[in-house]
Amino acid sequence: MPNGVYDKAREAFLDAAIDWDTNNIKAVAVNVSGAGTLYTVDLAAHDNLDDIPAAARLATSANLTGKTKTAGVARCSDFGLTFGASVATVEAIVFYVDTGTESTSKLIAYIDTATGLPFTPPPGGGTVNFVVDPGANGVFKL
């Protein structure tokens, strides 16, 4: 599945229910192939974090910083993902609004095609820094 914005997120942006630069936005690394619990993305039907099985979520960032939305391009500062031991290969990153409740934490964008993806976290765990594309599309473009 190529990079994309979830349909329900597009609706939420148009309804002003998602505000990229003021909401608490996080990134979660997900397992989409190989061993273990997998996440099968559905950009049309999935809307909230509870659509991603908890066991398929490999690491979650802190709230993103440096967020901007100039010309419909969502950007943020680079961020880290901290992994525990024995983690699967990371094939995708999902951005979402963190409300503190999985059933209301709106999924925003699914990224599986980017420099550095897929990657294998360090053996025994550790932090991997995710460098945000400084190009024309940033994290994503509406």
User: 38-95: per-residue pLDDT in tens?
Assistant: 999 999 999 999 999 999 999 999 999 999 999 999 999 999 999 988 678 899 999 9
What are the Cα distances from residue 121, in Å, to 10, 41, 84, 87, 115? 31, 21, 9, 7, 15
* Residue 142 domain-assigned (yes or no): no
Quick one: average pLDDT of 112-133? Answer: 88
* Residue 141 domain-assigned (yes or no): no
Structural domain range at position 30: 4-135
For the entire predicted model, the pTM comes to 0.95
Cis peptide preceding 134, ω within 30 of 0? no
* Residue 140 domain-assigned (yes or no): no
Please count the structural domains in the chain: 1
Residues 6 or more apart whose CB falls under 8 angstroms from that of 56 comprise: 30, 31, 32, 36, 37, 38, 39
Task: Output the six-digit token pair for 86.
Answer: 């024995």
